[in-house]
Structure 1
Amino acid sequence: MELASAHLHKGQVPWVGLLLTASLLPSLSPPTTGQVTVEAVRPNVAEGENVLLLVHNLPRTLRAIYWYRGTTAGERNEIARFITASNKIILGPAHSDREIIYNNGSLFFQGVTKNDEGAYALDMLFQNFDHTLMPVQFNVHAKKQ
């Protein structure tokens, strides 16, 4: 314990404290892998531009991925679904022929209009039939002349 009781000169670092701090840092930081997140790539776009609703860390244990217009799941506002077992895409009533759903869960919008602006929901159906609904949104402004 001599090191802890020794007087430090200007510029010296108490190594015991530094090592303790370094060993605690990994347990204090939140996990960055494994948690599903959804982000709008280009959340503020002009009319006619493209938007990608990008899904990160999609679990491999899904039965299906659904995308909905709005923040709730409902048959009328379903854009598309991707069935993982059959690798099949099914388009819903809210599909406008400008959206593409990818097998990684992401949804791409081509040539957005002001009507596309707003909230969307990703619904993940797991093998045990649990659902997780994740909201995301983007804004569309008039194209500058």
Structure 2
Amino acid sequence: MEFPAASAYRRLVPWLGLLLAVFPSSLTTRILPTTEQFAIVSTIAAEGQDVILRIRNTPPGVLVIWWYRGRVVKYSNLIGYIALGPDDYVTGPGYTHRETALFDGSLKIRKVTPSDEGIYLAVALLPNGQRTKALGSLNVFGPAFFKHSLSENHRHRE
């Protein structure tokens, strides 16, 4: 014996099956996966601290990362670059003898000063010859800022 309503829905079942078969495949071709962008983690530091400007979402197979002070890829702004394969770090005109490119591509700056504050640019060379850019900022605060912040926090607690 058959369920009484089954015969009424029989004609809809093939269409429903077809829609279920076609619709998900069209969804997967139109919705692209989101990928995180190659970036420099912006950092805040106190004057005199050692700072590491970390890179986030390094593309696979990066061959070289160039570091620049400022937004522009210009030789005079070049701090240095590191080949991520061999132990090879080369400096440029923007090098102040306090910067070191680390083997994960990050940039370490020893004893930051207010003149280190600003935008930094990392350019990665990919195996296919293409380049991708990352921007980040470094903010440097002097001791007066921290004394003021500490006194403000103390006042709010009372």
* TM-score between the two structures when normalised by the length of structure 1: 0.69
Give, as a single letter, the amino acid of the residue that structure 1 aligns with 2:99.
E
RMSD (Å) for aligned C-alpha atoms: 2.0
Stretches of structure 1 that go unaligned for 5 or more consecutive residues are: 1-27
Show CA shifts across 1:66-95 (max 9, x none): 000001111111101011343311011111
Task: Count the aligned residue pairs.
Answer: 114
The whole-number CA distance in structure 2 between the counterparts of 1:44 and 1:50 is: 11
SS in 1 for 2:133: strand
Match of 1:36 among 26, 35, 38: 38
In the aligned structure 1, how far is the partner of 2:63 from the partner of 2:75? 18
State the match for 1:101 in structure 2: 101
Distance in structure 1 (CA, Å) of the matches to 2:41 and 2:112: 17
Mapped to 1, the partners of 2:102 and 2:62 lie a distance apart of: 14
**Structure 2 partner of 1:50:** 50
Q: Runs in 1 of length 4+ with deviation above 3 angstroms?
A: none
Percent identity (aligned): 31
Structure number with higher strand proportion: 1
* Structure 1 residues 84 and 45: alpha-carbon distance in aligned structure 2, compared to 1, 3 A threshold: closer
Where does residue 69 of structure 1 map in the other structure?
Answer: 69
Aligned residue for 1:22?
Answer: none
Gaps of 5+ in 2: 1-30, 148-158
Q: Indicate the residue corresponding to 2:129 in structure 1.
A: 129
Shift in Å at residue 31 of structure 1?
A: 4.8
Higher-helix-fraction structure: 2
Match of 1:59 in 2: 59
Residue-by-residue CA offset, 1:23-66 (whole Å, 9 max, x unaligned): xxxxx9x757x6433203xx222211122111123234122110
What aligned pairs does 1:11-30 form with structure 2 within 5 A after superposition? Answer: none
Whole-angstrom CA distance in 2 between matches of 1:114 and 1:55: 22
Give TM-score, length-normalised by structure 2: 0.64
